């Protein structure tokens, strides 16, 4: 279910490391909790975010939630297709439903994130 | 049930509601030649009078309102609106008075506004009120603008507004619109503000804390004085969202809790109609220090005791509404306050709390209650028990429609997954509460025995389940003639 090579946050974002860049999305658990996503508000390319700063907003039929930056860095690409097809976040959260691509500022921050087994344990511990 | 067509669909070329008598003078053509007339209302419906009357009467019959049944919408205080208030607001002296009338001719109406300001100040323990904002969210925005105006004048505008995760959803928007960055404060296991988290977050860059009390879980923030002290120590302001004031009326006053700014919703707490029956009114109360910044006009009394609109308030944030707020709403609220009096208002809060706790106690075993802390005027259940049978909060809410009940607030606050937020208000009798309890118990039983009946609910309403996702993703916001069908996506 959750890709082995990804890293995860307690806010249910995933990151995929590609050299000094990372792709960021929300996890399958997050998209299920949100329900049908109807709009994703993305930041501008070039914007710089600190760790845990709100970088965008996901709107679903149930709720409006912040997307938190899992690491600090600069936005080098956004998934523009989400503008017309927000349902990709539901359909393929770990792939085509990616949200942004960040240029990493501090690689050691990755170590603070959860591995897939940690994340799965974290999910089991979540009550209701 | 037959679907009611759109009015455009019942249109027939040439039909009209009335015919003018035949012209007995020479016709003058092109009288409107210099006037710009609209060319884009092609396909404008042409219907007879009886068709239009039936169309809108049938549509009105599909609506659910407080005059039809129980409306336990959490954090929204959908109480009954006594008809006497409507009667009073319809007196010609109120309903026919023109906003341009000279002040000396409408002293009585100014007195209504002034008296209401003073009574709201007394009820909340604040020093001054403005009745200008036309809804709760506008009240929030005005409140935050007052704080900003004060801080900017002191040369210290600050950047952050702290908001607990149990606050009303409009609070972050209002803070954001007034130019602040929102930082969330976590709730503790009791469902109240985590004071430690607040201490950590509070610093010299925090303009205000926006707190809803009682919060959206229905829980009273019993540390409120301590919370205000923490914020005040760093010279920040405490804004209280007063949408849940129904729980506190006559019992305690936000001003005495050291709150600096508060908004009220006359259309919730003070029984003026809500939603489509509105308009709303969201008065804002402040402590003395923010008084100079209140929006103009401010009603003041001259030495001869006559009232006037003071526009000469140099520190004011300016106008936030045309004229003087929603005047007739204020008339209704004043009628409500005066007809109940101090003891009556106190009783409102007590019965609202009693009713909510009666529901909570009666349903506690059937529905999961995440926070066990005592609650006031509302309580938040979740669908945790029913989820085991594949039933979600939306199925429960939709099924309630079949029992003649408006669904409660759902999936909010976000800290309770699958939330069902129920606020009965003081205007429901025990008999009606018992019918609701019975319906909720039956639904919980159906979840175990026959979940399909819930998944397909409602069975009795005019419309069944709407495709909310499609509606949000491909909004069609107005009818257009077919040949000019516009793209259905967001423009």
Using CA atoms, how far apart are residues B83 and B272, in angstroms rounded to an integer? Answer: 10
- What is the DSSP-derived secondary structure letter of residue B457? -
Q: How far is A39 from chain B (nearest CA, A)?
A: 7
Task: Please state which of the ranges A81-90, B12-21, B73-82, B230-239 shows the lowest mean pLDDT.
Answer: B12-21
Any domain includes A105: yes
How many whole angstroms separate alpha carbon B169 and alpha carbon A7?
31
Note whether residue A2 is domain-resident.
no
User: Under an 8 A CB cutoff, do B411 and A86 touch?
Assistant: no
* Strand pairing report for A73-78 and A100-104: antiparallel
Measured CA to CA, the distance from residue B457 to residue B397 in angstroms comes to 9
Q: Phi/psi at B211 (nearest 5 deg)?
A: -125, 140
* CATH number of the domain located at residue range(s) B342-471 in this protein: 3.90.1150.10
**Nearest-angstrom CA–CA distance, B186 and B198:** 8
- Residue A66 pLDDT level (bands cut at 50, 70, 90): confident
Q: What separation in angstroms does the CA of A63 have from each of A83, A84, B403?
A: 18, 19, 27
The share of chain A scoring above pLDDT 70, in percent, equals 98
Q: Flag whether A41 is in a domain.
A: yes
The rounded Cα A49 to chain-centroid distance in angstroms is 14
Residues A16-36 pLDDT 10s: 999 899 999 999 999 998 999
Write the burial class of residue B489 (CB in 10 Å: 0-12 exposed, 13-18 middle, 19+ buried): exposed
CATH value at residue A89: 2.40.50.100
The verdict on ipTM greater than 0.90 is: no
> What does the CA dihedral B244, B130, B163, B265 come to, rounded to 10 degrees?
20
Closest Cα to residue B360, out of B416, B306, B421, B412?
A: B421
Map out the domains of chain B as residue ranges: 83-337, 342-471
Within an 8 Å CB–CB cutoff, is residue A33 touching chain B?
yes
Pairing between β-strand A64-68 and β-strand A13-18 as defined by DSSP bridges = unpaired
In chain B, count of helices (H) and strands (E)?
14, 13
Which tokens belong to A72?
Answer: 């600090």
Q: A-chain residues within 8 Å CB-CB of B186?
A: none
Task: Let me know if the fold of B83-337 is the same as that of B342-471.
Answer: no
A127 occurs within a structural domain: no
Number of separate domains in chain A: 1
Span A113-122, pLDDT tens digits: 999 999 999 9
Mean pLDDT, to the nearest integer, of A28-46? 93
pLDDT in tens, B284-343: 999 999 999 999 999 999 999 999 999 999 999 999 999 999 999 999 999 999 999 999
Q: Does the CB of A112 have a partner CB in chain B at under 8 Å? A: no
* Residue A125 covered by a domain: no
DSSP tag of B76: T
| Residue A100, domain extent | 7-119
Chain B interface test: which of A38, A50, A67 (most B C-beta within 10 Å): A38
Q: How far is B452 from chain A (nearest CA, A)?
A: 20
If you measure CA to CA, which chain B residue comes closest to A37? B469
Q: Does A86 touch chain B (CB under 8 A)?
A: yes
Residue A1 placed within a domain:
no
Q: Is B1 a residue whose pLDDT tops 70?
A: no
Query: Residue B174 has what DSSP assignment?
Result: H
The pairing of strands A100-104 and A21-26 is: antiparallel
CA distance B306 to B347: 35
CATH 1.10.3720.10 fits B83-337, yes or no: no
CA A46/CA B305 separation, integer angstroms: 61
Which of A38, A84, A128 lies at the smallest CB-CB distance from B417? A128
The dihedral formed by the CA atoms of B161, B164, B167 and B170, expressed in degrees to the nearest 10: 30
């Amino acid at each position: 279910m959750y890709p082995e090579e990804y890293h995860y946050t307690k806010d249910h974002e995933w990151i995929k490391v590609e050299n000094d860049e990372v792709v960021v999305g929300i996890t399958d658990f997050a998209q299920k909790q949100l329900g049908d996503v109807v709009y994703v508000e993305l930041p501008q390319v070039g914007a710089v975010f600190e760790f845990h700063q709100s970088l965008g907003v996901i709107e679903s039929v149930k709720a409006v939630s912040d997307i938190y930056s899992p690491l600090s860095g600069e936005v080098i690409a956004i998934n523009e297709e989400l503008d017309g097809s927000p349902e990709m976040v539901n359909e393929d959260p770990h792939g085509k439903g990616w949200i942004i691509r960040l240029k990493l500022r501090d690689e050691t921050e990755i170590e603070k994130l959860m591995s897939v087994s940690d994340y799965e344990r974290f999910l089991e511990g979540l009550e209701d | 049930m037959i679907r009611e067509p759109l009015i455009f669909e019942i249109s027939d070329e040439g039909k009209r509601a009335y015919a003018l008598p035949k012209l007995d003078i020479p016709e003058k053509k092109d009288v409107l030649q210099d006037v710009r007339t609209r060319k884009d209302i092609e396909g404008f419906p042409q219907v007879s009078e009886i068709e239009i009357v039936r169309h809108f009467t049938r549509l009105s019959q599909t609506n659910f309102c407080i005059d039809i049944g129980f409306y336990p919408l959490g954090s929204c205080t959908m109480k009954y609106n006594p008809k006497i208030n409507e009667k009073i607001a319809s007196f010609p002296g109120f309903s026919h008075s023109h906003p341009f009338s000279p002040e000396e001719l409408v002293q009585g109406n100014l007195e209504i506004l002034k008296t209401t300001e003073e009574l709201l100040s007394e009820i909340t323990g604040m020093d001054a009120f403005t009745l200008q904002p036309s809804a709760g969210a506008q009240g929030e925005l005005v409140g935050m603008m007052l704080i900003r105006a004060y801080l900017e004048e002191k040369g210290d505008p600050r950047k952050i507004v702290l908001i607990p995760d149990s606050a009303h959803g409009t609070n972050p928007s209002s803070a954001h619109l007034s130019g602040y960055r929102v930082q969330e404060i976590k709730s503790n296991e009791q469902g109240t503000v985590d004071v430690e988290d607040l201490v950590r977050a509070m610093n010299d860059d925090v303009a205000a804390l926006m707190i809803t009390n009682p919060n959206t879980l229905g829980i009273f923030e019993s540390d409120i004085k301590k919370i205000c002290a923490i914020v005040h120590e760093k010279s920040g302001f405490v804004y209280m969202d007063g949408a849940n004031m129904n729980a506190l009326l006559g019992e305690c006053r936000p001003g005495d809790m050291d709150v600096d700014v508060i908004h009220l919703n006359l259309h919730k707490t003070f029984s003026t109609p809500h939603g489509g029956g509105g308009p709303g009114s969201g008065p804002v109360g402040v402590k003395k220090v923010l008084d100079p910044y209140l929006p103009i006009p401010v009603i003041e009394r001259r030495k001869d005791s006559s009232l006037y609109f003071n526009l000469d308030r140099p520190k004011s944030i300016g106008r936030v509404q045309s004229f003087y707020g929603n005047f007739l709403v204020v008339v209704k609220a004043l009628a409500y306050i005066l007809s109940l009096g101090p003891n009556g208002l106190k009783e409102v809060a007590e019965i609202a709390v009693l009713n909510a706790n009666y529901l909570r106690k009666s349903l506690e075993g059937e529905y999961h209650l995440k926070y066990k802390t005592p609650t006031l005027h509302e309580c938040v259940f979740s669908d945790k028990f029913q989820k085991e049978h594949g039933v979600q909060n939306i199925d429960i809410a939709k099924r309630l429609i079949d029992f003649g009940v408006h669904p409660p607030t759902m999936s909010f606050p976000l800290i309770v997954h699958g939330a069902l937020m129920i606020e009965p208000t003081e205007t429901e009798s025990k008999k009606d509460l018992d019918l609701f309890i019975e319906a909720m118990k039956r639904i919980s039983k159906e979840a175990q025995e026959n979940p399909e009946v819930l998944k397909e609910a409602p069975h009795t309403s005019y419309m069944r389940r709407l495709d909310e996702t499609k509606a949000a993703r491909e909004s069609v916001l107005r009818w257009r003639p077919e040949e000019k069908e516009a793209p259905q996506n967001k423009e």
